[in-house]
Structures are given as C-alpha cells and as structure tokens.
Amino acid sequence: MSDILFVIGDTPVRTGTALIAFAAFALLLLMAIAIIIARGQRHSVLTAQSQSEHANELDARLNEMLRIQAEATGRVDAMGQALAGRQAELTRAVNDRLDSVTHRVGQSMEQSTRNTMDSLRALHERLGIIDNAHKNLTDLTTQVTTLRDVLANKQSRGAFGQARMEAIVQDGLPKGSYAFQHTLSTGKRPDCVVFLPDQRPLCIDAKFPLEAFTALRDARSDEERKFAAQRLRQDVLKHVTDIAEKYLIAGETQDNALMFVPSESVYAEIHDSFDDIVQKAYRARVVLVSPSLLMLAIQVMQQIMKDARMRDAADQIRTEVMNMSDDLGRLRDRVLKLQNHFGQVNEDVRQILISADKIERRADRIEELDFSTAEPAQEPARVVPGSDLFQVPRKLQQAGE
C-alpha cells in the first residue's frame, strides 16, 4: 500500500492514497446518481399529479356538457310543443283570414271595375279637350300665316347701321335664327342674314351712303343743293343696284333684301323729297327701312318663326293624340281580358262551392244515419250580398275555425 505508483511534481502518489481518492470519486459518483434518480422520481410524481388534476377537470367538463345537453333537450322539447301550438293557432288564423279575403275580393273587383270605367271616362274627356286645342291651333296657324304678306310692304322692312342693327336683331330674335357676316354661295357676305322657316336667309345691308345726305344738309346755295341731291340719288341707286346683284340669289335667298337708313330723319327726307329712289329700289326688290321699321320687321319675322314652331308643335300634338288613342285601345282590350279572367274565377269558385254543399249534405246524412239512395235536388250556391263571389258553406267555415 505504500508503493509509489507515480509522482506528481515533487509529490509521490502511493497506492493507498490512490485507492482512497478512487473510493472518494466513486462515492461522489454514487451520490450524483442518487440525486438524479431522486429528481426523476419527483418529476414523475409531479407529472402524475398534473395528469390526475387534468383528468378530474375533463370529468367535470364532461359532466357539465352532459348537464347542458340534457337542459337543451328539454328546451327543444318545450319549443317543439310551443311550435305545435303556434302552428295550430296559425292555421286557425289563416282560415279566418281566407274567409275574410274571400268576402272582400268581390267588393274589390267591383270597386276596381268602377274605378277603371271612371278613368276611361276622364280619359275620353281629356281627349276631347286636346281635340279642341288642336282645332284652335289650326285656326291660329291660318291667321298667323297672313303675317307673311307684311314683308311685301315697304314700311315693314328696315336696314340698320352695323352697331344699331346688331343690337336690335340680337334683342328681337333668338340665337341661331340670324347670323352676321354670313357667307353666301357666291362668296358675298351681307352685314346680317335672318333665317326664315324655309331656311332661305333674308339679307340686310347696313352700308347706307350718308356722305351725299350730309352734303345736301350742309349745302348753302341752290346750286350746291341741286348737286348734292343729284349725288344722293346716284349713290343710293348705285347701292340699291349693288344689293340686288350681290344678295338676291334665286333659290338661295329671299326675294327681297333690306337696306338700312340709319336715321328716322334721313328716311323721312328720302321719302318726302326722293320718292323716285324709293320706287326704283322697290322695283329692284330692295326695301329701305328706318330703325323703327326694322324693329317692326324683326317682330314680324319673329311671329313667322313662332308660327312655324307652332305648326311643328301641332304635328307633335297630333302624333301624341294618335299614340294615346292606340294606348286607349290596348287598355280596353286588356280590361276586357281581365273581366274574362274574373268571370272564370267566379265560375270556378261556384263549382267548388257546389261540391262543398254536396259534401255537407252527405255529412248530414251520415250524422242522421240516413243512407237512402235518393239524392236531394242540387241547391244553387249561395251568393254573398254585394259580391260576385259565392258564400263558403257554414260547416266548412266552422271546420276552418
């Protein structure tokens, strides 16, 4: 035991010391194994306790679920009984309502028929009113067309200076019925054109030669006045000729054109002192007009356009009346079909009630133990007063209640 096994540093390790150390190491190892085994057993115990608690909890929940299921089963049974009672009550209520509806259907059908006839009568009255309005429009159209002749009168035509003409035309006519500086097929551009219902423009020229009239007004001697009058006559006639050549196009423009005289005093002077100019211009189909005459001409043209619109509206009214008449015919046919359907329903109900009366009589015979083969005479179905439907047998009503 005192033999030296090996030397660690300067310290010799003997056999006894080595055995003691080995024994100590083995003891420590056994203690560690014992501790591990003890901890494992403790963990197993804890796990077993947890599983036991979990199993107990599951049992409690299962018992609770069984209790709830039992309560739900009882509630379902109670609900089934309640629903059965409600269904019976609903059946009785439906039977009562059916009897009430059967009684009221006849009254509703009669009331609907009466309302339909009243509506048709009112519609006929309205159609008569529309027919009278159409006749009035036709008479008014005949009267308004006579206004076209006003354009042939020299007092109904006028021509404007550019600024005054545009203002009067814009104030008197709707947009789209006139145009300024409109280009004709010849390339000429009058100061203004008015589109009449036949789509041929009426040309208006506002370039009146005022220089000669100014010279006539400023003349101091008879020679100057004579010379200015001759100049005015030549300038006006030349302008009339230019208007007739430029703005009177056969088939494109109106047969007359207007030349504006910018002042009422100038226009009155021309008519008083230069009647030959007015006559020659009229023969050339060019009408001289003052501002007031141009306003009158604009109003006449406005009435002509209004007359055209009224004629168009009369055609539309005639078309609508014809369409309404067609709709009235279709409505009448449909009302007749509806009346046939109502008659068929009444017949079916009558047949059903006859069968019900037979069943009622057979039930009475069974109740009275009367089995004779003689069949009693067929009784007519009972009719509800004030209705087109038949009365339901009394026993069927009681059975429904």
Of 264, 259, 224, the C-alpha closest to 238 is 259
- Average pLDDT, integer, range 305-312: 78
pLDDT given at position 35: 86
pTM for the full predicted model: 0.39
Could you give the CA distance from residue 252 to residue 309 in angstroms, rounded to a whole number? Answer: 22
- Is the pLDDT higher at 373 or at 130? 130
Output the six-digit token pair for 179.
């145009």
b/e sequence 318-341, b meaning 16+ C-beta within 10 Å = eeeeeeeeeeeeeeeeebeeeeee
- Is the pLDDT higher at 265 or at 357? 357
DSSP characters over 253-284: S-S-EEEE-S-HHHHHHHHHH-HHHHHHHHHT
Which region among 48-52, 56-60, 210-214, 260-264 has the lowest average model confidence (pLDDT)?
A: 210-214
- Average pLDDT, integer, range 367-372: 66
The DSSP output letter for 382 is P
Of 150, 136, 153, 114, the C-alpha closest to 302 is 150
Instruction: Give 23's pLDDT tier (boundaries 50, 70, 90).
Output: confident
Output the six-digit token pair for 185.
């097929």
